[in-house]
Structure 1
């Protein structure tokens, strides 16, 4: 279970990094509150990947 979570988290962090590099931070008005909050939490809690443009 932990391996699967790590795999999914890594994939999510990688994708967020790609989106940030191409488009910058997505604001709530662009993607909605839930997606913007999820993006932020994913980046802030990920110690394995980065750096991200904060």
Structure 2
């Protein structure tokens, strides 16, 4: 049985791949972690910081 943790991978990631970044959105912030080592922790950024990061990638 698997549980929804709220973490998700990009739709551009291969379904069977565990080598990507995972993101979790909440009302307060955005969490980002390495899917290869999720137990290593995550960083949390504001929605504004995440939006600015994504805009820079484009």
TM-score above 0.5: no
More helix by share: 1
State which structure, 1 or 2, has the greater radius of gyration over its C-alpha atoms.
Answer: 2
Normalization by structure 1: what TM-score? Answer: 0.24
Higher relative contact order (CA 8 A, sep 6+): 1
